[in-house]
Structure 1
């Protein structure tokens, strides 16, 4: 076993392998739920070999190993626990996590579980938009056929977004995902007036029972609610519909009731509420003199610590739907670059060679948009480091406002995010400038305070 020392020390820290109730990993962290939290030896969490940090959140003890490394450590842990009946992964990890969440956290986690699986498709769409912009920037002209092909590549995912969301939501809530797809398709069916065309005055809504009916192009919350209704109706109907008739009656009633409810009752209300909330948030971002940009870029990484950053996906999708650009991606990268600069500066102040190398390696994943190792391994060790990172991000936010810079997609940040600015060479340079300025400001702030910071981190 390659990581035996790590696993042995981990067992010692958590109170023995028999105290592990459940475990899982994400991109950077090994996440463990214990049977008895009091058995954890918190003082020795930093002594685990290869671990870059530890924190506790929503009932989970999270040990940061970094991209790639966490997969190998998890596999070794699984191999060891698989040899013991007492230590085997006990039940559903997500179910155990949800038990430890308050209502607000459950909502955010649910949104993340629904939206995160869609990100690869939306990232691809944004990249294709960037490719089209780059080709235009290079002087390439498109005839009607090629323009139609590119339009198909860049517009389809957003035109049928309710289909993707209804599918993902239905799957999340335990319903039949195929029924979710059918209901999602009905919500954007060509027989319904296109919501965007109606908003532009190029089409008239249908009138049904005194209500204006339009398609749900670009809607997010209604599609999530539709997925929830499908799953609840399915489960409820299966309790009363005879098994012999279940194959026909259950899906028939589920689809009919759901689409009727969405078109005539919940849908119009949810569309208005969603539009109002998103417009309010966007108006805050667009506050005069770049104040909204500055505040967001300063606070995005603190938001990441709480896990609430997952809820921003709804805003990003809506921004791309409405205008084809996404300012949140740019500001998020500025916030990351600020913390990156502060952490690198702090790492260079460490006298112990091993600690310095570990700290620097913790910052490396930031280049690919993953900041948890940096945050918990370096920045949060001293408030001045973290605050310097926030200030660097805020300056990057101000520069973003001055330049008027926005991304063409979502889901990728920092170096991979360069692909979202290929629509013009100027945008590419401006994006790199925002990163460089955010990094430099926070780096210099830490260096200016180096005397007090150095004494504490050493």
Structure 2
């Protein structure tokens, strides 16, 4: 741990000193500090250090990216802080940060089905615009139902994800969402004779059709279908009630009683108080943004376009997306998503310019998957691998995105579904009229965006931007890595996880294991054993940093099914057993066992060659790492079994 003392002292000094730290946690690569005074941070000094990869504020915390040795560095941080509590200090988090964190946790898991719905609606719009289908056709009716279902039942889906975010029984969360959608609520609470009207003559004027034991029920005329904000707050209230009940109810009857009482108490509160309040707040937010858009579409569009890409870096773009989702759900048309639609084409164009100008083989290799991902609106590989490291490139991407957004704003172009990238153009077709004007404008805007970002990056590119960092350990001859598992090998680009597929975590390969025994692919030192046992980091004797990551999202299993045989700092030899995985248990729990093996410091080597497909057994040679200083005949470059 001695070698990290100076680094930790340097970090603490530049974040305002030990007394400025409220709490600290860590993930696989970064330290997360909750600070008393964020203004004391000297970010520029930190990022200049060769031992720090990046530093940034995100989600109300200051994050310092130090690599896969983070667990050891974290221990030194704890020592120098005198054992400060590692748990996040939630009370110190600002309201905005907490709200952003919550929206991110709730909406992110739903993005896949929202995008699928957008694609379905885009296809339907295309079929109707070309007169292949009419609105009375059975095929149209079925496709329309498929595209609308996710929005109609959004409170149910968000009830589940909100419950997960608030650590509540997720099925109770779904129940709360489903209760809001029962048809008899609409018919019984929004029709018939009006008993009286509340807030008469104001913006909040609401007719009351029924009461709950004499308490007026303010049920929205349009119901809670297609809403986002109300269910999040309702589940939050429900989570507090459930937590209180768990403390009060004896464990012997808790299993049968807790969920019942949670629903019994929460639903009336939701319908009488929480729902009406949040429904009004949601409407006010949408009305406010709509009002600004009405006053000046250009200013609104430029603001969103310029902010969107920086917000993606910090994961803070979901609140903007939430407004767009609400607009689509309630009216079937949106003006927010067009403002950020061209961002991915800007990032992709930047990568293309670098690909054409760079002489770095590693950059060229990484560029292709980054461009493919970018075309499908996965821009993180482009941001972290190409534009953000050279700040002017990121600025060029922002400028390009703003140009496209401005074109769409000036033409008052709207989107009729949530879909992005090359598959998203169909979302600009008006499903009612079949008009292609929005599609044509979107294509023009995207081309303009890409052209601006490409030209600026291409014309200002400098060869010195291709930097290869050196390490204390240096690989002086070609080294072979063996397979840590027995199974089917696949190229890393085919990974279901975009971070691995983009090679953002290094070059490598995938193994779909057939047996649960895991051995070390190199001789070296164990640098990281994640507490859940699903990931192990090893540094070879020659300086190759290898990450073995079992499965996707398997950290959520909290160690169930994983049995590590090594500890941090332990020396291992190539082929030594380091882990055992109960594959059946992991699969039965609903998780993929697709295993990623990557060299996380890939950019320090001339080339990394991997077997691309076929069956492999433990200890088969599957990867060749070639150093910069080793002159090897070309026939040896492909020596991978």
Same fold? TM cut 0.5: yes
Q: Distance in 1 between matches of 2:378 and 2:403?
A: 21
| 1:343–1:379 CA contact under 8 A, matched in 2 | yes
Q: Distance in 2 between matches of 1:181 and 1:391?
A: 42
**Richer in helix (by share):** 1
C-alpha change, 1:122 and 1:356, in structure 2 (3 Å) is closer
SS state of the match for residue 184, structure 2? coil
| 2:154–2:226 CA contact under 8 A, matched in 1 | yes
- Residue equivalent to 2:30: 32
- Residue equivalent to 2:117: 125
What TM-score results when the alignment is normalised by the length of structure 1? 0.73
Q: Distance in 1 between matches of 2:89 and 2:137?
A: 52
Q: Distance in 2 between matches of 1:286 and 1:342?
A: 33
Query: Could you report, residue by residue, the CA deviation over 1:71-107 in whole angstroms, capped at 9, with x for unpaired residues?
Result: xxxxxx79xx9xxxx9xxxxxxx97697996553332
Q: Distance in 1 between matches of 2:350 and 2:107?
A: 31
| 2:321–2:337 CA contact under 8 A, matched in 1 | no
C-alpha change, 1:55 and 1:345, in structure 2 (3 Å) is farther
C-alpha change, 1:382 and 1:170, in structure 2 (3 Å) is closer
- Residue equivalent to 1:193: 186
Q: Distance in 2 between matches of 1:356 and 1:239?
A: 55
What TM-score results when the alignment is normalised by the length of structure 2? 0.54
Query: Could you report, residue by residue, the CA deviation over 1:351-383 in whole angstroms, capped at 9, with x for unpaired residues?
Result: x43465267458523222222333333333454
How much does 1:45 deviate?
Answer: 5.7
Alignment partner of 1:255 is 2:247: no
Which runs of structure 2 are paired with 1:17-416 in the superposition (5 Å)? 23-24=27-28, 31-33=29-31, 43-44=49-50, 54-57=54-57, 58-62=61-65, 103-139=95-131, 140-143=133-136, 145-193=138-186, 206-208=209-211, 209-214=215-220, 215-288=223-296, 290-345=298-353, 348-350=356-358, 352-354=359-361, 357=364, 360-361=367-368, 363-364=370-371, 365-410=373-418, 412-416=419-423
- Residue equivalent to 1:436: 447
Q: Distance in 1 between matches of 2:333 and 2:161?
A: 24
C-alpha change, 1:206 and 1:186, in structure 2 (3 Å) is farther
**Richer in strand (by share):** 2
Q: Distance in 1 between matches of 2:261 and 2:184?
A: 21
Q: Which has the higher contact order (CA 8 A, sep 6+)?
A: 1
Q: Which has the larger radius of gyration?
A: 2
C-alpha change, 1:338 and 1:166, in structure 2 (3 Å) is same
Q: Distance in 2 between matches of 1:279 and 1:41?
A: 41
- Residue equivalent to 2:200: none
How much does 1:257 deviate?
Answer: 1.3
How much does 1:420 deviate?
Answer: 3.3
Q: Distance in 1 between matches of 2:7 and 2:332?
A: 48
Query: Could you report, residue by residue, the CA deviation over 1:48-87 in whole angstroms, capped at 9, with x for unpaired residues?
Result: xxxxx745454545589xxxxxxxxxxxx79xx9xxxx9x
* Structure 2 counterpart of 1:420, from 420, 424, 427: 427
| 1:192–1:206 CA contact under 8 A, matched in 2 | no
C-alpha change, 1:418 and 1:14, in structure 2 (3 Å) is farther
C-alpha change, 1:168 and 1:446, in structure 2 (3 Å) is closer
Number of aligned residue pairs? 398
Q: Distance in 1 between matches of 2:137 and 2:300?
A: 40
Q: Distance in 2 between matches of 1:43 and 1:420?
A: 45
Query: Could you report, residue by residue, the CA deviation over 1:370-402 in whole angstroms, capped at 9, with x for unpaired residues?
Result: 223333333334544333322221210121123
C-alpha change, 1:124 and 1:375, in structure 2 (3 Å) is closer
CA RMSD of aligned residues (A): 4.1
Q: Distance in 1 between matches of 2:276 and 2:260?
A: 23
C-alpha change, 1:356 and 1:310, in structure 2 (3 Å) is same
SS state of the match for residue 167, structure 2? coil
SS state of the match for residue 210, structure 2? strand
| 1:188–1:194 CA contact under 8 A, matched in 2 | no
C-alpha change, 1:377 and 1:248, in structure 2 (3 Å) is closer
How much does 1:324 deviate?
Answer: 1.3
Q: Distance in 1 between matches of 2:239 and 2:258?
A: 11
Q: Distance in 2 between matches of 1:243 and 1:376?
A: 49
